[in-house]
Structure 1
Amino acid sequence: MLTRRALFAGFAIAALFPVGVFAQGLPDLKGRPVTVVTENAYPPLQFVDPKSGQAIGWEYDAMNEIARRLNFKLEYQNVSWDAMIQAVSDGQYDIGMTGITIKDERKEKVDFSEPYMRSEQFMLVRSDETRFSEEKGFAAVGDALIGAQPGTSPFYTAVYNILDGNEQNSRIKLFETFGATVQALKTGDVDLVLTDSVAAKGYVDASNGGLKVIGGPLGAEDFGFIFKRGSDLAAPVNAAITALKADGTFDALNRKWFLDYKMGQ
């Protein structure tokens, strides 16, 4: 495993090279201003560091590097998940990022980048949970509740892969943010939260033994950045994603955020 010091040293060396060397073959957006919106509620992809109060995470590092290589000027904004896709569709923001699963129905409103990450959903529960250990066991415990944000992949997985296919099922409690679902899990207001392995690891690491992951993966999903339909930013960002995958930058970010970084330290 690379140490945090080794990774930072590698990034520091990389930063010494002029942008043109790294961006060879990539479009030059000539300092164009680009507004990126996120929720800051999905560690370690994007979240507010409890120590510094700064917004950090895998997606921030990736987007900062994409901006550097394409030569555009970043401005970050914050909005709730339930407003994000429509806001980007309406052109209020140029790019949206918050671990957004690429889905055909969402493509009717926004354009997606190429996938930058593949993840699988897992069951996040309190560490003292013994009533169930997988999805069928949860479904059999009639008074057990699951917390989810409406319109998200975890919501639909809860409805169609765990429960009875009824989107109005009273066993699903709805929350405005993903962080609120995890807080409800911690306080006992719900008994299960579905999330991908990325966020699950971050919350387990931060829980001081209070949370755990049970069962196996409930399906793979690809994450992408979103743009207004027809945005001329999609093609340059896709080119940068391809370059970042090819030269190992995304692998380095994976090591930094999923192996070296521990939430709460």
Structure 2
Amino acid sequence: MKKALFTVLSCLLALTVSACGSSGQSQSTSGNDSSNGAAAPAESSAPAKEKYVFGTDATYPPFEFEKDGKYVGIDIDLLNAIAEAEGFEIEIKPMDFKGIIPGITSKQLDGAAAGISITDERKQVIDFSEPYYQAGLSLVVRADNETIKNPEDLKGKTIAIKKGTTGAKFAEELAQKYGAEIKYFDDSPAMFQEVVNGNADVTLEDYPVVSYKIAVDPNSNLKIVGDRLNGDYYGIGVAKGNEELLKKINDGLKKVQESGKYDEIIKTYLGEQK
């Protein structure tokens, strides 16, 4: 009798251990094996997009400026379109123009879109995309100024100019040639205001920039005089040697131009002209 009772208790103990083991295995399986029980949430297999930091001068309409808390303009819209076409992301970092090229060379920026004229001097320290816009400098005076028509009229005059620009270099050459004085400023609005206030006689600025300013602000009290002084082309600047990013920008620029998006961007800010 005792032997029979012992046998029954042993069987019950074995069944209990077996049931506990089965329960533990079931919990483990349902928690880690998506093929048994509720499926685990699927993880995204898409790789994170590459992100690049681009500098810009946000006081340079129509190429870059701030509106309703956002950065917009030809350069910004173009850069966004290129990034979308090539599948990368951008972060815009606004700064004074004079700090943009040093920012690229010091690797604080991956590149810049800021109405940057392509010059041999700049090509020594940064790489450029294919040209995307022909600008060219113009003489700009107060609307009531009738004494300055061309560079020869700059003798004894005062030129307001933005630091670090091709306009500054051109102004320095004109000042040396015709005996003019130069005043330097950090941004275009400040140099324009200096001319309007009568503290400078003339400034030099890229034609589309000042043309846009006069068109959108009838009270600008400025006018363009004479022919364009040169035919500079704008390019997107990239840290020297970054062939991967440069290729993405050039490939994206071509796609944007071929799709008609480029013309759409230009028309938004400058009408039908290119």
Deviating more after overlay: 206-215 vs 218-227 = 206-215
Q: CA deviation at 1:177?
A: 1.7
Asked if structure 1 preserves the Cα contact closer than 8 Å seen for 2:118 and 2:235, the reply is: yes
TM-score, length of structure 2 as denominator length: 0.76
Q: CA deviation at 1:34?
A: 1.2
1:234 aligned onto 2:222: no
Instruction: Confirm or deny: 8 A CA contact 2:161 2:184 kept in the other structure.
Output: yes
The 5-angstrom pairing of residues 131-170 of structure 1 reads 131-137=147-153, 139-140=154-155, 142=156, 144-160=157-173, 162-165=174-177
Deviation of residue 165 (structure 1)? 4.5
Aligned mates of 1:243, 1:81 — CA distance in 2: 28
Q: Summarize deviations over 1:125-176 as a string: whole Å, max 9, x none.
A: 1111111222212x23x2x21111233111122222x33349xx76110112
The corresponding residue for 2:28 is none
- State the alpha-carbon separation in 1 of the partners of residues 172 and 65 from structure 2: 27
Deviation at 1:243, TM superposition (A): 2.0
1:122, CA displacement in angstroms?
0.9
Q: Which amino acid aligns with 2:176?
A: D
Identity among equivalent positions (%) equals 25
Listed as ranges, the gaps of 5+ residues in structure 1 are 1-28, 261-265
Residues of 2 paired with 1:53 and 1:43: CA distance?
Answer: 15
1:54 to 44, 53, 70: 70
Shifted more, 37-46 versus 188-197: the winner is 188-197
Q: Aligned to 2:203, which of 193, 204, 224?
A: 193
SS of residue paired to 2:193: helix
1:36 to 45, 51, 54: 54
| Per-residue deviation, 1:123 | 1.2
Distance across 2 between alignment mates of 1:55 and 1:190: 30
Partner of 2:137: 121
For 1:185-225, what per-residue CA distance to the aligned partner results, in whole angstroms no more than 9, with x for missing partners?
Answer: 22222121111111011221243241111111101001011
* 1:69 counterpart residue number: 85
Q: 1:96 maps to which residue?
A: 112
- TM-score under structure 1 length normalisation: 0.79
Higher Rg: 2
Are positions 1:212 and 2:223 aligned together?
A: yes
Deviation digits for residues 214-259 of structure 1 (CA, Å, limit 9, x no counterpart): 1111010010111111112001111111222223222221111102
The superposition leaves residues 42-66 of structure 1 with CA deviations (integer Å, 9 ceiling, x where unpaired) of 11000123xx243211111101111
Please report the RMSD computed on the Cα atoms of aligned residues, expressed in angstroms: 1.9
The SS at the match of 1:181 is helix
1 CA distance for matches of 2:180 and 2:147?
19
Give the aligned length. 224
Structure 2: gaps (5+ residues): 1-46
Alpha carbons 1:102, 1:112 under 8 Å: kept: yes
> Higher helix share goes to which structure?
2
Moved beyond 4 Å, runs of 4+ = none
- The amino acid across from 2:122 in the alignment is R
